[in-house]
Structure 1
Amino acid sequence: MTTTEPVIAARHIAKRFGHVQALRDASVTVPAGTVVALVGDNGAGKSTLVKTLLGINRPDSGEVVIGGEPVELHSVRDAQARGVDAVHQDLALAPELSVVDNMFLGHELVSGPGFLRRRQMMERADAAVRELGIQLPSLTVPIRELSGGQRQAVAVARAVMWSRTAVLMDEPTAALGARQSEIIAELMRTVAAKGLGVLVISHDLPRILKAADTITVLWRGETVLESPAADLTVPDLVATMVGYRAEEAS
């Protein structure tokens, strides 16, 4: 069930890197229980905006809002402390480690020096995977032995396990086949149904139009469209992404 209350938002963000104005006036709002897609042409500022929401970038102006309050994020740890986690495009998984070890990487449960609480880690990882309906051969198999879709699913499950507020996803279906991409799209809806906000960067316009509740379009570092996904078509999005509408409005 969706709600209009935003769990995370960016308001009028500007960010410059040297001579490059990456963001000029970028805003996005992610309510609890919804999937919001962030789309735009290459160089529109999508990744820069998401990195700002994660505390990787500090905005030159504008504000990040989490849980209804403006916040200053100085690192990814700051965002994680507020219940925000991410699925990065490179997944940030350790291929030689098992599924369970990857899910607890940086969050290991210990009892005394050098002793991992493996039973509790296995139980929590198993519950997290089952809750999202993810099918894996085993939690002890190394990540390198999983398919691309299974690796994506593990990265999503890990982010959800440590999130209380929102999950941000950067191109979660990149390099996946059609069926695997559909599974990840369904997984986005499952995550939102848990009450988390989901913000996803995607170039897969037909699929994201079906999966998302709202579409936000960036063009040259500015938010030029925020609309219910049901009101849009792929040609609408393409025209906006390449600036036709923005030019017509000027």
Structure 2
Amino acid sequence: MNADSAFQEIARTVQVLAFDTFGTVVDWHGSIVREMQQHHPRVDADAFARAWRAGYQPAMARVMSGAQGWTLIDALHRQILDEILPRFGLAHLGEEERVHLNRVWHRLSPWPDCVAGLTRLKRRYTITTLSNGNIGLLTHMAKRAGLPWDCILSAEVFRAYKPDPATYLGVARVFELPPQQVMLVAAHHDDLAGARACGLRTAYIERPLEFGAGHAKDVSPRPGNDLHARDLLDLADQLGA
């Protein structure tokens, strides 16, 4: 099957596009950097953003291993925040300031292509989040950023964090579809590998600046993914949306 035929077959069979959010749809690093520069200008904003994000996988691993009970991402973000504040000279922040800072994850800005790209894709497909973020966080983020989701699905719905198969297969179950009619769209190869192992289609989105301009990612194509796109507008072009 040539490339054009493959695109046509995917466009014809896929009905639901499920999107990773942090890094794929929204710019967590740039958003946190701007927040820190505005409110805490003496802090190394780049290092702070990356340190906060670095605690994300270990925190979820504690939950997935059973070492910690089921916990929403908002609460995990707060645990990580409390751990790193002393490292950056911010141990003095009070409860109100910590709550506000923790909710920066609700205020993340989308990448420039996302609203237009999602709007185009929505015309042809059902578009939903599939994020480890909790429902309240994702809803606030979408409302603020103008993200036109048809549906918001979260690890909270399935009480499992990606890459648990319950998340990927859960999307197919929600929409009463076989897994191959669902495509995960993400900027992270481990997420896509988890989806692919469950029978979902996969599309990789290049986000070379996810970790900031000083920490560019390798976004070269890898085998296994059905599609590889520069951004969501490019994905819409490939899918004929």
TM-score (norm 1): 0.29
Q: Larger relative contact order (C-alpha < 8 A, sep ≥ 6)?
A: 1
Q: Which has the higher helix share?
A: 2
TM-score normalised by the chain length of structure 2: 0.29
